[in-house]
Amino acid sequence: MQPAQMYDRAITVFSPDGRLFQVEYAREAVKRGTTTVGLKFQDGVALIVDKRITSQLIEPGSIEKIFKLDDHVGCATSGLVADARVLVDRARVDAQMNRVTYDERIGLEALVKKVCDFKQTYTQYGGVRPFGTALLIAGVDGSGTHLFETDPSGALMSYKASGIGAGRMQVMEMFEAEYRDGATADGAIGLGLKALHRATEGKLNAAALEIGVVTKAEPFRKLDAAEIKRHVERALGPPGA
């Protein structure tokens, strides 16, 4: 029996070199997911997802990859969407419980830590499996604008701009080279679209995009089809150009 096969049967068993194979397999599920990006700008954060429509028969609107968690926070997912919905429902309950208990919006870091604590418990007990999804959680609170990336292990990291999913490497290369602090909302969304365009090898389809934006002045919302088309044409030019 190969060494890996001896230690990948249960989530609670470490391999001799300190690895939890089921967590690593969950990360592979994320890497196979749709490319998702998030970028901070002057007074807010934008999330952009390429929904990767694989058939002309699919209704693009039936696929949801960006979710509103509360008025001031939303998230985008890559990986197993069904797993993501469980985490979204959990985060929404946590946000509402904070409102009921303290009569105020939950802080972004506190909400992300609650989600990650929940994810971490699914790496520690027998009879369960890790969540095969990563989330980009974006929002605004009293301490400013925030963009967090969560991992199937329950780890979290704060970013100025980040990407998850199949095209993460290409996206991060572009962000490292071109992202600048203090960008406008249009500039940040434009850079995110260019990064997705590179990650999809030029096959970006405006009808298969979701964009969510939250600012200090306006609550989290998803852009409509006309707004998305305008941003795509501004960043990439008209179709066929």
Six token digits for residue 196: 């997705």
Q: Which residues contact 30 (CB under 8 A, 6 or more apart)?
A: 78, 79, 132, 133, 134, 152, 164, 165
Look-up: residue for tokens 């904070």?
98
pLDDT digit string (tens) for the chain, length 241 residues: 455 566 777 788 898 888 899 999 999 999 999 999 999 999 999 999 998 887 888 888 888 999 999 999 999 999 999 999 999 999 999 999 999 999 999 999 999 999 999 999 999 988 899 999 999 999 999 999 999 999 999 999 999 999 999 999 999 999 999 999 999 999 999 999 999 999 988 788 888 899 999 999 999 999 999 999 999 999 988 765 5
- DSSP-derived pairing of the beta strands 161-164 and 133-141: unpaired
Q: Which residues contact 118 (CB under 8 A, 6 or more apart)?
A: 87, 90, 154
Q: How many residues are recorded in the chain?
A: 241
pTM reported for the whole predicted model: 0.93
Q: Which residues contact 9 (CB under 8 A, 6 or more apart)?
A: none
> DSSP assignment of 4-43, as one string?
HHHHSS-TT---TTS--HHHHHHHHHHHTS--EEEEEETT
The closest of 97, 100, 92, 121 to 23, measured between CA atoms, is: 121
Six token digits for residue 52: 């990767």
Give the Cα separation of 200 and 171 in Å (integer): 10
Give the Cα separation of 165 and 80 in Å (integer): 11
In order of their start, the domains of the chain are: 33-236 (3.60.20.10)
